[in-house]
Amino acid sequence: MDKAELLEQVRVRWQRGDPPKAIARALGVRPSVVAPLVKRIAADAQASQGLGKVLGCWVNCGWSIGLGLEKHPEWAELDAYAGEVEGFAQVLVARESRRGRATVRGYLADVHCLGVKNARDPETMDAGHIPGAVRTFYSAFDRPPVEIPIELGRELILGAVHYARELGFEPAGAFDGDAAAFLGDWDGPGQIEFGRDGQPSYLSGPYDNPDAVMRTLMRSAGAGNFQFSVAVGPT
């Protein structure tokens, strides 16, 4: 393929959330060829969207359970009592849009199996209103969120997308190229081992199709290589 076609193929996969190494493998080229193209695409995306510096990034307690982060006891301590939300990362990112103003976007990812389940539209506000937006976004949780580096928030969301795609699951329709670009460029893989204790682990949600998820996991992971639980509602 010529340079223009290669650039477009890289752009499509990058907007889907694929890391550069996976893009290179899929296109049959060296990672050293893809890396500068990804940087160019990311820079173009940020320039076109007017992305500013990161003002803050947050995540709920409970997200790290089962993700192979034993070398990070700070997360084990924070997540020890958050069993009702384990397996889900709710990430909020705030960027400066212009002096005194900010744009925030929120994401919800099933880090044990399905990847991104929701992405909120961007909301612009006075920068002074960010603390209120954070409280609202995490109002359903018993404990306040934790502020984290954008690099970790980026890996949580884009890494979850990549992991889920390898299992055969696409992110929610609201997670488009703009939602991915807002997080910034991700080289992946990082330190997070998605899945629960090394395996996909699915807990059905109220809007899921458990039978379809089971069939997909049987094809991609194989019998005995994943965990599957169907939530039982009140009787």
* DSSP letter string, 24-68: HHHHTS-HHHHHHHHHHHHHHHHHHHT---EEEEEE-TTTTTTSS
- Is 89's pLDDT higher than 80? yes
- Among the ranges given (76-80, 140-144, 149-153, 210-214), the one the predictor scored with the smallest mean pLDDT: 76-80
Span 192-202, pLDDT tens digits: 999 999 999 99
What pLDDT sits at residue 43?
66
Q: Which residue has the higher pLDDT, 229 or 216?
A: 216
Backbone angles phi, psi at 172, to 5 degrees: -55, 150
Across 11-15, 26-30, 77-81, 121-125, least confident range:
77-81
pLDDT per residue over 20-63, tens digit each?
A: 888 888 999 998 998 888 877 776 666 555 578 899 999 998 89
- Within 10 angstroms of residue 31's Cβ, the number of other Cβ atoms is 15
pTM over 0.85: no
CA 11 – CA 118 distance, rounded (Å): 22
pLDDT for 234: 46
Q: Are 207 and 174 in contact (CB under 8 A)?
A: no
Look over the chain and give the mean of its residue pLDDT values, rounded to a whole number.
Answer: 87
